[in-house]
Amino acid sequence: MSEPVNLPALGESVTEGTVTRWLKQVGDQVAVDEPLVEVSTDKVDTEIPSPIAGVLEQILVQEDETVEVGSPLAIVGDGSGGGAAPAAPAAEAPAAPVAEAPPAPAPAPVESAPVAEAPAAAPAPAEPAPAPAPPAPAAEPAPAPAPAAEPAPAAPAPVTPMPGAPATSPDSSGATYVTPLVRKLASDTGVDLGKVLGTGVGGRIRKQDVLAAAQGSTSGVSAAAPVLETSPLRGTSVPMSRLRKVVAERAVISMQSSAQLTTVVEVDVTAVATLRNQIKDRFQQSTGTKLSFLPFFTLAAAEALKAFPIINSTIEGENIVYPPHENISIAVDTERGLLTPVLRNASDLTIAQIAQQIADLADRTRDNKLMPDELAGGTFTVTNTGSRGALFDTPIVFLPQSAILGTGIVTKRPVVLSGGGQDAIGVRSMVYLALSYDHRIIDGADAARFLGAIKTRLEAANFDSVLGL
């Protein structure tokens, strides 16, 4: 019994997808909901799982081919066809002992057989009971039906299959593909993927390999972490992904179609830092999420958008449209490129709700679990380049939005403090906020007033009533 694997609907505006990488090959065993193939769309990259458990019988769409939603990508069957083929060599196996000429080499094949049988275990039922039988199928695992009639060459062949077995050997050339899920697991467990030997097809690193490495020597991995390794991309030329092409096109169009500039303010967030330190343990116990500065920046920006809707507006023809809500796009850095899932009605949320939703959106974005509709409808963007150590930047406004707020890293610096007619120098937690905006409809004074409102809100740090704890 076979079942097709079709390209599912990935959002209202998505009509087609491009196969970027097959995670399984024809003949591989697959479990229910196990990822089969990676597909890229204009909105997001995602993995398509198998609807049933069985064997991947056919691949209908090759890598880099584009098909419409609903098109069949592959055929998964129950494996009845693949299971019958290995039965023939098993039946012929008793004939192999007739070639009893190699008594001396017999021990060698017996020891090498388990190694060669590891890759063959997927397509073949594990029934190498007779000792002479394993060398015969192991000699030529791919064209199993043909060599079944040639038991004689199977004796000298054990030495040849050993080098031929790297189908599962982690003989990576440096370009071994790692799924986002495995890469995130490695990051969470502190495992250096460059030192993990993959046991999957073609040497692919699986989740089990990362878990095994995490349980092993972690001290060696930690010691190697500070070493800045040379990227395998150095000196290469690779085609841009579909997502990268879309981002590139939108960035150029946005810069050419709008008049963009950036205004920067410096904010003293010492009071926010103090509040955060006081409640961060209780906050994590209550919400299951770590408390960073980003939820405070996001809420302050959302509240300021209600007071200064021109920052939240967009141009449609010769009109300026003011949305009735503050849907904030949160920039998420992924290995595939920049994605901006949307935090809806942000001005109505508490700090706890914002922190939880940002964490959820970021995790699902990096794991390819985001639906395209969750990337649509943003009216304003917040990008936290401070998480990578940047003091500030001048982010690009992506049309049709009219503004984007960049938040820098919070650092302790000596600051001149004035009070009681005297000046003093104190250590304060400071941050730069940079607002890029479309000067066609937003003036510099508008930008300054908007940033001033955020500055006042953060320096006062009166967030007790909106913590949500």
Task: Just list the catalytic residues.
Answer: 439, 443
Report DSSP letters for 229-244, one per residue.
Answer: PPPTTTT---PPPHHH
Tokens 């029934």 map to which residue?
127
Does 400 sit behind a cis peptide bond, omega within 30 degrees of 0 on the bond before it?
A: yes
Alpha-carbon distance of 402 to 451, in angstroms, equals 15
Q: How far is the first Cα of the chain from the last one, in angstroms, to the nearest whole number?
A: 53
Alpha-carbon distance of 240 to 245, in angstroms, equals 6
Instruction: State the sign of the Cα–Cα–Cα–Cα dihedral 153, 154, 159, 163.
Output: positive
State the DSSP code for 3: E
Q: Return the SS3 of 42.
A: coil
Element spanning 20, H or E: strand 16-22
Alpha-carbon distance of 260 to 396, in angstroms, equals 8
Specify whether the CB–CB gap between 354 and 301 falls below 8 A: no
Cβ partners under 8 Å of residue 452, min gap 6: 265
Element spanning 261, H or E: strand 260-268
Q: Return the SS3 of 115.
A: helix
- Helices 351-366, 270-287: inter-axial angle, 10-degree rounding: 70
Cβ partners under 8 Å of residue 419, min gap 6: none
Q: Which of 142, 133, 126 is nearest to 106 (CA)?
A: 133
The one-letter amino acid code at 81 reads G
